[in-house]
A and B are shown apart, each in its own frame.
Chain A
Amino acid sequence: ILNVEQSPQSLHVQEGDSTNFTCSFPSSNFYALHWYRWETAKSPEALFVMTLNGDEKKKGRISATLNTKEGYSYLYIKGSQPEDSATYLCALPNYGGSQGNLIFGKGTKLSVKP
């Protein structure tokens, strides 16, 4: 089974700080990488799906990069706001991934203090 690692497990930052966290995965048989945000008592929400080495995607203050050769993706949040507090999950399709059977990392729980 595919091993998806996320670090750190949790992060506490002040409002206005910029932050980043990491998703690591085996670099062989890469197909796609998903980032989701999961706020407490809400549904997980897709942020990005990335497929190409060197991909960079941006949505507002959140951006992500992908390095498939070395097996990692970074998620960046610029100027964190309290509403960014959530668990950020990284996921990849299993079995080298033409199917949507995602394997999730354990997530990074972000808390932003006002």
Chain B
Amino acid sequence: DTGVSQDPRHKITKRGQNVTFRCDPISEHNRLYWYRQTLGQGPEFLTYFQNEAQLEKSRLLSDRFSAERPKGSFSTLEIQRTEQGDSAMYLCASSYAGASSYEQYFGPGTRLTVT
């Protein structure tokens, strides 16, 4: 078991550019979550999938953000027309829906810097 992986680990982009991040969950996990973490704060929920269905989206997820999980495996998070306020760590987590679904396992994160 290699755990949750995320790619890239660090992305620097200019304001206005589009960026896409990838998350590969633990293989047997059917739930996948995206969180955003800014300096000195805890992670904030963005969205989650059960299999390929996106079941919940936070109001933090503006229309510039889109997430997909085709075939219920890996997921991508795209940010269009990036703004400096998008600079943050983007964390992915996965879990197995069931009695212990609170056990969300996090990846190392993708640190986004918008210049």
Q: Are both chains from one complex?
A: no
